[in-house]
Amino acid sequence: GENVEQHPSTLSVQEGDSAVIKCTYSDSASNYFPWYKQELGKGPQLIIDIRSNVGEKKDQRIAVTLNKTAKHFSLHITETQPEDSAVYFCAAKMGSARQLTFGSGTQLTVLP
Amino acid sequence: DAGVTQSPTHLIKTRGQHVTLRCSPISGHKSVSWYQQVLGQGPQFIFQYYEKEERGRGNFPDRFSARQFPNYSSELNVNALLLGDSALYLCASSLAGQNYGYTFGSGTRLTVV
């Protein structure tokens, strides 16, 4: 089955700096890659996603890039703000699969 | 519009007991998935139900079961609870079985003592 590795496990940045979180996946058949933000006591919230026919997608301060050849994808957050502090999860899904396979999460802390 | 709603929010059970967790999907969503999230880890897939039928099952023992009702709400049942079942149980809904837009609820925090 699919295996998703995520790093770093923790990341601290100064407010206004950029943050980058990276994930690798094992199954070349995976074609959907969402990113979720999870705040304390809440469920994961979808912040951006990308499909395998696209190399990059941007939504305001958030962007995701996908390298299908290397089987890795990354989340980029620019101009970070304290409210960006949370745990971020990457995930992957094959088109025929019923489930998302999640990475182990990155605790992002934005220091004021 | 209401999002995915789960009940109860917190639950404490004793080893060996049985538990039922409930989920109501977003209106119009016909697929419900269940995930287990152990502290410090990413969610792990348990089940997916679509149109009241089980469409996928993760690597969980038979103590875990689920069902989906005609109104698309769902229940997750866990029998013979173990300490290791302590986790956040998340429900996610989507329009269809292989749809890409999964929306998660806030989860049920289960503690087994």
Interface test with B, best of A36, A99, A106, A107 (most B CBs within 10 A): A99
Residues of B in contact with A95 (CB under 8 A): 98
Residue B109's pLDDT is what? 97
Q: Do B45 and A101 touch (CB under 8 A)?
A: yes
Q: What is the DSSP letter of A40?
A: T
* Mean pLDDT on B104-110: 97
CA distance A1 to B87: 23
CA distance A98 to chain B (A): 6
CA torsion, ordered B35, B38, B40, B45, to nearest 10 deg: -30
Touching check for A98 and chain B: CB below 8 Å? yes
Percentage, residues of chain B above pLDDT 90: 85
Q: Is the CB of residue A9 less than 8 Å from the CB of residue A105?
A: yes
Touching check for A52 and chain B: CB below 8 Å? no
Q: Is the CB of residue B98 less than 8 Å from the CB of residue A100?
A: no
Which has the closest alpha carbon to B8: B17, B18, B24, B21?
A: B21
Residue B60's pLDDT is what? 97
CA distance B48 to chain A (A): 7
- Checking if the pLDDT of B100 tops 80, the result is no
Residue A41's pLDDT is what? 87
CA torsion, ordered B88, A63, A9, B113, to nearest 10 deg: 0
In angstroms, the Cα distances linking A1 to A17, A101, B95 are 36, 9, 24
Residue B97's pLDDT is what? 60
Which of the four pLDDT bands, split at 50, 70 and 90, describes residue B1? low
Q: Look up tokens 């502290």; give the residue.
A: B39
CA distance A39 to A41: 6
Q: Do B42 and A105 touch (CB under 8 A)?
A: yes
Q: What is the CA radius of gyration of chain B?
A: 13
Q: Do A43 and B48 touch (CB under 8 A)?
A: no
CA distance B48 to B67: 9
- Checking if the pLDDT of B99 tops 80, the result is no
Residue B96's pLDDT is what? 77
3-class secondary structure per residue, B25-64:
CCCCCCEEEEEEECCCCCCEEEEEEECCEEEEECCCCCCE
What confidence tens digit (pLDDT) does each residue in B41-94 have?
999 999 999 988 999 999 999 999 999 999 999 999 999 999 999 999 999 999
> What's the start-to-end Cα distance of chain B, in Å?
36
What confidence tens digit (pLDDT) does each residue in A14-59 have?
999 999 999 999 998 899 999 999 999 899 999 999 988 889 999 9
What confidence tens digit (pLDDT) does each residue in A79-112 have?
999 999 999 999 999 877 788 999 999 999 999 9
